[in-house]
Amino acid sequence: MGTTFEVKVVASLLPEPQQELVREAIQGQLQDIDGKMSTYREASEISRLNRSRETTPHPLSRETFTVLTEALRISRMTGGAFDITVGPLVNAWGFGPAPHPAALPTDVEIEQLKLRSGWVKIELDPRTSTIRKGDPALYLDLSAIAKGYAVDRLSEVLAEMKLVRHMVELGGEVRTSGRNAGGNPWRIAIEKPVSVSSAFQRILPLENLALATSGDYRNFHRAEGGHLSHTIDPRTGRPVQHELASVSVVDSSCMRADGYATALMVLGEEDGYRLAAEQDLAALFLVRTREGSFREMETPAFQRLLRAKPVTGTDLTPERESGS
């Protein structure tokens, strides 16, 4: 997946052969998901679908179908702020698997790419587990949600191996299960959204919950004096530009948290906060201030969730940092 991962398990010391089995199961699961959903692999299921010009039903694995179904649900719920068909625009702005373009896309190019995209052109049939492209040019990019899905799957793999107390992190998205070695909720840090240092903004006590963060402070590039975010606003076809530095979402599903975090990042601090509050999402928005610090905006669901899970003990060092 072109990213790092970490898995922590609370268990009495596992004998080496069993540790090896766990490692193999995790690697196998990651390879499987990568082989299905990575646009960075030409042979993946999604890359084959992207190359296909057919507009007839195309069979998909159960895993990819699950992720696509969730992606479309989030698109619907966010009025299209989340849209996996922005792939060609992601590439045009230099953030996808395609070679970095020599120049920024022109207005005309952006309009053309926008015309060929749109999540409403995707048709899924759950009875046959097939997808139909409403436009042969549709190109799907699952980067905003597949990492969260992978974290959920790794957590399930561990649980199936009877390793119920664990923490899984992949590229900044985290899921916790049970309590940590000290018998407390896991302490998961949200980084300050700055590219230079790694300081913490918050430490969340999480138990059986996932956390995903979307931000513009890691994966970005500078263009003509500006700062280009890798999050594309499907309405404009351009990288989002606002004072919102990051959005973190807590949910029982890491796939959902991942998708929501990206969608709220697109919507920005006002519309995003409104939608998150309306839909009762547990979200923390970090907004840049003129003084160079961050203003926190917590939704009511976020506040409730943290109030319900007090930290016991005195050790405040985080077990994991989240941010992407």
Q: Rounded to an integer, what distance in angstroms lies between the CA atom of residue 262 and that of residue 271?
A: 13
Indicate which single residue of 144, 168, 170, 250 sits in contact with ligand ADP (rule: CB under 6 A). Answer: 144
What's 159-177 look like in SS3? HHCCCCCEEEEECCEEEEE
For ligand ADP, give the closer residue by CB, 36 or 230: 230
Report the Cα 70 to chain-centroid distance in Å: 12
- Long-range contacts for 17-26 (Cβ within 8 Å, ≥24 apart)? 21/161, 22/158, 22/161, 22/163, 25/157, 25/161, 26/154, 26/157, 26/158
User: Residue 203 in contact with residue 187, Cβ under 8 Å?
Assistant: yes
* Residue 84 C-beta: closest distance to ligand ADP, Å: 5
Q: Which helix (H) or strand (E) holds 210?
A: strand 210-215
With CB under 5 to 8 Å by kind, the binding choice for 78 among ligand ADP, Mg ion, none is none
Applying CB under 6 A, the span of 46-54, 138-146, 159-167, 290-298 interacting with ligand ADP comes to 138-146
Q: Does residue number 249 form part of the binding site for Mg ion (CB under 5 A)?
A: no
User: Residue 138 in contact with residue 122, Cβ under 8 Å?
Assistant: yes
* Residue 214 C-beta: closest distance to Mg ion, Å: 5
Give the residue from 144, 139, 152 showing the smallest Cα distance to 30: 152
* Residue 50 C-beta: closest distance to ligand ADP, Å: 13
Q: Does residue number 267 form part of the binding site for ligand ADP (CB under 6 A)?
A: no
Binding footprint of ligand ADP, residue count (CB under 6 A): 24
Applying CB under 5 A, the span of 185-193, 254-262, 300-308, 315-323 interacting with Mg ion comes to 254-262
For Mg ion, give the closer residue by CB, 22 or 260: 260
Q: What is the footprint of ligand ADP within residues 207-266 (CB under 6 A)?
A: 214, 219, 230-232, 234, 258, 262, 265-266
How far is the CA of 38 from the CAs of 88, 142, 201, 289, 292, in angstroms? 15, 7, 31, 36, 36
Kindly give, in sequence order, each residue whose CB lies less than 8 Å from that of residue 276, ignoring residues fewer than 6 positions away.
249, 260, 264, 283, 285, 299, 301
By rule CB under 6 A, what string of x and - marks binding of each residue 276-315 to ligand ADP? Answer: ----------------------------------------
Q: Which helix (H) or strand (E) holds 25?
A: helix 16-37
Q: Which helix (H) or strand (E) holds 287?
A: strand 282-288
Q: What is the footprint of ligand ADP within residues 164-183 (CB under 6 A)?
A: 171-172
By rule CB under 5 A, what string of x and - marks binding of each residue 132-151 to Mg ion? Answer: ------------x-------
**Length of the chain in terms of residues written:** 324
Contacts with ligand ADP by CB under 6 A lie at 82-84, 86, 90, 95-96, 141, 143-144, 147, 171-172, 214, 219, 230-232, 234, 258, 262, 265-266, 324
Contacts with Mg ion by CB under 5 A lie at 144, 214, 258, 261-262
